[in-house]
Chain A
């Protein structure tokens, strides 16, 4: 029998050994790795922590799947995950500063009827392998996009306007349009997440853009004009190093700009809110994707070095270009009646929503475009209309009156029914990011007699696209500057001004006069603000009366920024650009960051 006991003890010993082994060889203390580990690896040079920018961003379930994809036009790639800084633009645009910043191009001009756009490129710009950047690259990029069309990102956007791009001389490229395109320059400039990347012709020519990875560190791929070189890219992390000397980057070489102070950027995959919060509190990361208001305020309490766009005050972030609205399917029963839509708007208590969901750290959204400086004049221009049509007012009395006037009554359970006895049933769809506000809106509606519910089914996007929904929560990715045309475009049911340019009309709302007016805006240049304001007023007269969708809240990016190692982040005091480092404007932030130590 003793042998039996021995066996038992032995098995427990094995388990104990396992336990001890893991404890003993564990990484000391810290939950996450620093580059102390990295310096042991071969090939990566040593860069101290105070010259490294560590970002927690993206990935799937804690690792990257696109680490070998550095060609931003392939639909599997995402410029937000790193490739964005490798491809410099012709122009940057900053929505906050309302400034255009010439970059690879020095200037541009349109011809008189907006059918030709000419860019004058900056001389002395070279790719990282020594080949000069010329008009050939720009022309090649645009022409290939026209050829490939729907097979690649931005293909159709470019294809519908551009006829061909012609090299006039190595520093001048002329783009010929097949319809007047006064907004094309604005479109291809880098702003937020929109912009067209310029790729090196000598590398991309002959490759299949849909699968080409442009990834080979030994060869020095991805080839770039920027001061960034890819050092390591694995599922666990992406390490991007800056060039050593100012001569290796055209901007610092010619004195146009200084070399960024950041010497290394490390992208670490996003694992979860809890883990990211831990990391920023412990100064193991410098910035990350948005955190919730409750979380970011807690982090800032624990670590005062952390700041947000609004420092330590609510709303802890800046307004994103994506105002949220509740879209109701205007082709369905009940929702085809504008009075019902307005009633829904009056039933929604946005203040309560922001209070509960965001702890008060948020703002309601007045219109389907964000409250940005260059769009504010348009909001001003329609202030008279907003008095008659208050899109943010919470007034159940008004809502009830609208419904009763339209023939609705309340049934025995307190829900509104029409003359035929059919209830206003509002099943709202959304994605996981709206789960903070969806159930609350649903509860508010139910309290006012609308039979509402909220769900985020896996096929939400599919159903939204096909119009198989009663209501859904979405954000508007429309205009950020210049004029509200890009926002209005989303509500058109058809367009003649931009052939093939029809977008999905989620609202299923049709109004011919509206379509006509917006088409007029399409061909009006941004240099005619008075006309644009007038058109906006006319357009909004229709839109506000009809209210195709109900405005909810503005979308904030509450990005934690750690000042322990880096300062001069974009904040409300220093709004040089939007602070989201995953946007195409990240290059601008990198040029501005100053080391704190």
Chain B
């Protein structure tokens, strides 16, 4: 039965990926924009000179990229390329390959956003659990309203305000970027790491502040439900210590839906980061993707979104398979 279930889940995993890929393929192409024309015009805009023979150049590169073939043929090539993870060249930054663009931006996105999501999740869930716990210190109650307020604010606006007060008025933190312009990325150097952490503080802070409230709230909700359960009363009656009750009973049973959301959130780390990266000028995948969308750079869009979807779908799939292990109450009989 288990194998059956896993196979079914895997099938859905593949289906989801295929569907997403198809949507991503067709959506940009439905607009009648021509990425090569956009690219040529960008070049023209830089120098102010319209190349004679631009039409011919556009035709030349259209055939080079296979954009003048019928749509179905392009779709077929696209699927086989994606299957082999051959993302090809970027149109807007030819001859740069999509893979090199990905490898340049991915570590930053994952680094900053992965870290902040995990921190916000950890601190927020703990806080939320404590807030629901009757025997937690009262002082925490006072934290709740401001956190609620913060979580309601769009984090990029929070970021703008933080930039103004902490970076502009007071120069404590840098205005922009992942690292100071002009440094060499030397991941072995401590001072480089220091520089990176210094630059990541503000984006991280705004995301953590905005995220904590949300995690706290949902965790609190779960804890309240769990506290009402019979086994909790039983455990209390048994005379177990407060902390044991808190961690081994209440927390552990409430954490499951939170973890599901966490997986989704981590998957979204890449896509949802666009605004953070734009406001803070962080050199991650989000801005690469945003620019690719504006430039109609099909191949970059496809490459990045594939990675995002695979990450999320993989996470969901693994979670689905692991669920019965985490919560023995859940069994999977056919509906």
- A interacts with B: yes
Does A150 lie within 8 Å of B53, measured CB to CB?
yes
Bound Cα distance A329, B41 (Å): 19
Known interface pairs A31-B174, A78-B43. Does A150 touch B56 (Cβ–Cβ under 8 Å)?
A: yes
Does B182 lie within 8 Å of A236, measured CB to CB?
yes
B197 within 8 A of A: yes
Does A210 lie within 8 Å of B184, measured CB to CB?
no
The list of the 9 closest CB pairs from A to B, nearest first, reads A156-B53, A25-B194, A461-B41, A193-B47, A26-B198, A477-B48, A150-B56, A22-B197, A3-B243
Q: How distant is A493 from chain B, measured CB to nearest CB, in Å?
A: 15
Nearest B residue to A194, CB-CB: B49
8 A Cβ contacts from A2-50 to B = 2-5, 7-8, 11-12, 15, 18-19, 21-27, 30-35, 37-38, 41
One of A58-66, A240-248, A441-449 at the interface: A58-66
**Chain B residues within an 8 Å CB radius of A30:** 180
Does B49 lie within 8 Å of A461, measured CB to CB?
no
**Chain B residues within an 8 Å CB radius of A4:** 130, 133, 136, 242-243, 246
A160 within 8 A of B: yes
**Chain B residues within an 8 Å CB radius of A206:** none
B93 within 8 A of A: yes
Q: How distant is B121 from chain A, measured CB to nearest CB, in Å?
A: 11
B42 within 8 A of A: yes
Does A11 lie within 8 Å of B123, measured CB to CB?
yes
B46 within 8 A of A: yes
Known interface pairs A8-B126, A462-B34, A462-B37. Does A477 touch B182 (Cβ–Cβ under 8 Å)?
A: no
Bound Cα distance A37, B195 (Å): 11
**Chain A residues within an 8 Å CB radius of B281:** 61-62, 271-272
Nearest B residue to A23, CB-CB: B198
Most B CB within 10 A of own CB, among A8, A22, A54: A22
Bound Cα distance A193, B195 (Å): 37
One of A69-77, A382-390, A562-570 at the interface: A69-77
Known interface pairs A15-B123, A25-B193, A156-B56. Does A62 touch B181 (Cβ–Cβ under 8 Å)?
A: yes
Q: How many residues of B contact A (CB 8 A)?
A: 83
8 A Cβ contacts from B13-29 to A = none
Known interface pairs A4-B130, A268-B182, A269-B181. Does A160 touch B53 (Cβ–Cβ under 8 Å)?
A: yes
One of B94-102, B216-224, B315-323 at the interface: B94-102
Q: How distant is A16 from chain B, measured CB to nearest CB, in Å?
A: 12
Does A62 lie within 8 Å of B177, measured CB to CB?
yes
Bound Cα distance A5, B60 (Å): 68
Nearest A residue to B197, CB-CB: A22
A-B contact sample (7 more), CB < 8 A, given A193-B47, A235-B104, A458-B296: A3-B243, A21-B197, A31-B171, A61-B277, A74-B94, A151-B64, A462-B37
Does B33 lie within 8 Å of A26, measured CB to CB?
no
Most A CB within 10 A of own CB, among B51, B55, B101, B123: B51
Does B126 lie within 8 Å of A11, measured CB to CB?
yes
What are 30 residue pairs bridging A and B, where the CB atoms are less than 8 Å apart in the complex? Answer: A1-B243, A4-B246, A15-B119, A18-B197, A22-B201, A24-B194, A26-B194, A33-B181, A33-B183, A37-B191, A61-B278, A61-B291, A62-B177, A66-B96, A69-B96, A75-B61, A150-B60, A156-B51, A157-B53, A192-B47, A193-B49, A232-B184, A234-B185, A268-B181, A275-B176, A321-B48, A461-B41, A461-B45, A462-B33, A503-B54
Q: Main SS of the interface on chain B?
A: helix
A322 within 8 A of B: yes
Does A31 lie within 8 Å of B175, measured CB to CB?
yes
**Chain B residues within an 8 Å CB radius of A275:** 175-177
Interface residues of B (CB under 8 A from A): 31-34, 37-57, 59-61, 64, 93-96, 101, 104, 119, 122-123, 126-127, 130, 133, 135-137, 140, 168, 171, 174-186, 190-191, 193-195, 197-198, 200-201, 208, 242-243, 246, 277-278, 281, 283, 287-288, 291, 294, 296
Does B93 lie within 8 Å of A76, measured CB to CB?
yes
A115 within 8 A of B: no
Bound Cα distance A203, B151 (Å): 59
Does A458 lie within 8 Å of B50, measured CB to CB?
no
A264 within 8 A of B: no
A546 within 8 A of B: no
A89 within 8 A of B: no
**Chain B residues within an 8 Å CB radius of A232:** 184
Bound Cα distance A261, B104 (Å): 35
Contact size range, A: 35 or more
Bound Cα distance A227, B48 (Å): 28
Q: How distant is B247 from chain A, measured CB to nearest CB, in Å?
A: 8
Interface residues of A (CB under 8 A from B): 1-5, 7-8, 11-12, 15, 18-19, 21-27, 30-35, 37-38, 41, 54, 56, 60-63, 65-66, 68-69, 74-76, 78, 80, 149-151, 153-157, 159-160, 192-194, 210-211, 213, 232, 234-237, 266, 268-269, 271-272, 274-275, 278, 320-322, 431, 433, 458-459, 461-462, 464-465, 475, 477, 490, 500-504
Q: How distant is B296 from chain A, measured CB to nearest CB, in Å?
A: 8
| Cβ-defined partner of B57 (8 Å) among A156, A234, A321 | A156
Does B181 lie within 8 Å of A74, measured CB to CB?
no
**Chain B residues within an 8 Å CB radius of A2:** 243
Nearest A residue to B91, CB-CB: A76
Does B181 lie within 8 Å of A236, measured CB to CB?
yes
Nearest A residue to B53, CB-CB: A156
Known interface pairs A156-B51, A160-B53. Does A66 touch B93 (Cβ–Cβ under 8 Å)?
A: yes
Bound Cα distance A269, B104 (Å): 16
**Chain A residues within an 8 Å CB radius of B287:** 60-61
**Chain B residues within an 8 Å CB radius of A320:** 48
Bound Cα distance A387, B295 (Å): 44
Bound Cα distance A278, B177 (Å): 14
| Cβ-defined partner of A8 (8 Å) among B42, B130, B176 | B130
| Cβ-defined partner of B197 (8 Å) among A11, A25, A37, A80 | A25
Q: How distant is A467 from chain B, measured CB to nearest CB, in Å?
A: 13
Does B95 lie within 8 Å of A31, measured CB to CB?
no
Known interface pairs A150-B59, A461-B38, A504-B54. Does A25 touch B198 (Cβ–Cβ under 8 Å)?
A: yes
Bound Cα distance A321, B53 (Å): 21
| Cβ-defined partner of B176 (8 Å) among A3, A80, A151, A271 | A271
Bound Cα distance A66, B92 (Å): 11
**Chain B residues within an 8 Å CB radius of A80:** 46-47
**Chain A residues within an 8 Å CB radius of B104:** 63, 235
**Chain B residues within an 8 Å CB radius of A266:** 182
